[in-house]
Amino acid sequence: MERKMSKRKKRILIILGIVVIVFIALRIYLPFFVRGQINQNIREMEGYTGGVENVSLGIMAGRIRLSDLTIYDQEYPEPDIPFIDLAWNEVTVDWGQLLRGRLHAHVHIDSLVVNYVVHEVVEPEPVDIVEMLQEIMDFRIDIDITNSAINFVDLTSDPVIDISVSNLDVRVRNLINQVMINDTLPSTIQVTATVMETGLFQADLDINYMQEIPDFDMEMELEELDLTGFNDFAEAYGGFEFHQGFVNIYAETAAYDGAITGYVQPLLEDVEITPTEDEAGIFRQFYEQVLDIIASILESPGEDYIATRVEFEGRIDDPDVRVLRSVWLLLRNAFIEGFSKGIEDLVDFEELVEELE
């Protein structure tokens, strides 16, 4: 009897040993397999090359981590500069929800650099994003992007558009593909960044994108953006350049059921403008005086900045921009009263909903 029990224990131990060995082997092999699959998919992308260096898995925790991912655009003028350069990306999945047929995940992307270059004007093909998302299993995803950057260059424009965004942090919560009856704006997006090395950008967006025309409520501000970085545009289209100055932009907008309302409020601060060097003689002196007069007239009373507010409302596909009112606000700023810097809380999503219902 004892001999039979001993044999049974040995058999159980052998089976357990085999299971442990298989599990360890899978644990060692799976990261290489996943990395191979990812790199194969990248190689099959037309016009792109690159790959991922490291993949690590936390099977029990439902975690996969990619490190040192680079993708190159074969048409990029600088072949050594990657289209995408990612330090690491970690995805954590809730196994319990996945077994119930729902994907609940958190994505953390760190030190992502995107170098996007427009080579030619291409009309994008229309895509029904809502229908595409509805075909996927129910999901709820949170995303954090930290310490990242985007460099955008449009070679088709004249002069060339070159915009850099650094210190990019994005926080996305409750990204879903179901229609939420009790929550009008279920998803939230918060963005902070530095634009062109000087401008401080911040945006807060509540949105419901699961419909043909999304409903949303947004506040955005961009402060202390150095205007001297835009002298190529000023020289090309205005015949002048910024000797110094900063632009601040504040905006609020809300949309519901295709109707939209909002405003954009630009403020130019400490601006000094002069004609370009190719403008000479009497015309140059006259032009410089005109520019100085315009700048001095439009300075906000008691302040050293130029400001107005451009308001709009109507349908998203055909908004009504109030040009005459914008001109009046610009003159009012010059002669009667000025605007304060910052968001003014003039747009209320709930009021827009009440007006339309």
**Secondary structure, 3-state, the chain:** CHHHHHHHHHHHHHHHHHHHHHHHHHHHHHHHHHHHHHHHHHHCCCCEEEEEEEEEEECCCCEEEEEEEEEEECCCCCCCCCCEEEEEEEEEECHHHHHCCCEEEEEEEEEEEEEEEECCCCCCCCCCHHHHHHCCCCEEEEEEEEEEEEEEEECCCCCCEEEEEEEEEEEEEEEECCCCCCCCCCEEEEEEEEECCCEEEEEEEEEECCCCCCEEEEEEEEEEEEHHHHHHHHHHHHCEEEEEEEEEEEEEEEEECCEEEEEEEEEEEEEEEEECCCCCHHHHHHHHHHHHHHHHHCECCCCCEEECCEEEEEECCEEEECHHHHHHHHHHHHHCCCCCCCCCCCCCHHHHHHHHC
Instruction: Return the pLDDT at 144.
Output: 97
Instruction: Output the six-digit token pair for 288.
Output: 């410089």
CB atoms within 10 A of CB 125: 5
Of residues 197, 151, 149, the one with CA closest to residue 170: 149
Residue 164 lies in a domain: no
Instruction: Return the pLDDT at 313.
Output: 81
Q: To 10 degrees, the CA torsion angle through 303, 306, 311, 317? A: -150
Instruction: Return the pLDDT at 188.
Output: 95
CA atoms within 13 A on the CB side of 105: 19
How far apart CA 151 and CA 154 sit, in angstroms, is: 10
Please give the residue range of the domain that contains residue 357: 209-357
Residue 86 lies in a domain: no
Instruction: Output the six-digit token pair for 206.
Output: 């509540």
Residue 124 lies in a domain: no
Number of domains in the chain: 1
Cα-flanking dihedrals φ and ψ of residue 53, to 5°?
-85, -45
Q: Is the dihedral of CA 326, 329, 334, 339 positive or negative?
A: negative
How far apart CA 10 and CA 23 sit, in angstroms, is: 20
CB atoms within 10 A of CB 156: 12
Residue 244 lies in a domain: yes
Tens of pLDDT, residue by residue over 261-306, are: 888 888 888 877 776 665 545 555 655 665 565 555 555 555 566 6
Residue 282 lies in a domain: yes
CA atoms within 13 A on the CB side of 126: 3
Residue 144 lies in a domain: no
Tens of pLDDT, residue by residue over 146-165, are: 999 999 888 777 777 788 99
Overall pTM surpassing 0.85 (yes/no): no
Residue 107 lies in a domain: no
Residue 126 lies in a domain: no
Q: Residue-wise pLDDT tens for the chain (357 aa)?
A: 555 556 666 666 667 767 667 666 666 666 777 788 888 888 888 888 889 888 888 777 788 888 999 999 887 767 778 999 999 999 998 878 878 878 899 999 999 999 988 777 666 666 666 666 666 678 889 999 999 999 988 877 777 778 899 999 999 999 888 776 667 899 999 999 999 999 999 999 999 988 888 899 999 999 999 988 888 777 766 667 788 888 898 999 999 988 888 888 888 888 777 766 655 455 556 556 655 655 555 555 555 666 777 788 888 777 665 555 555 555 455 444 455 667 777 788 888 887 776
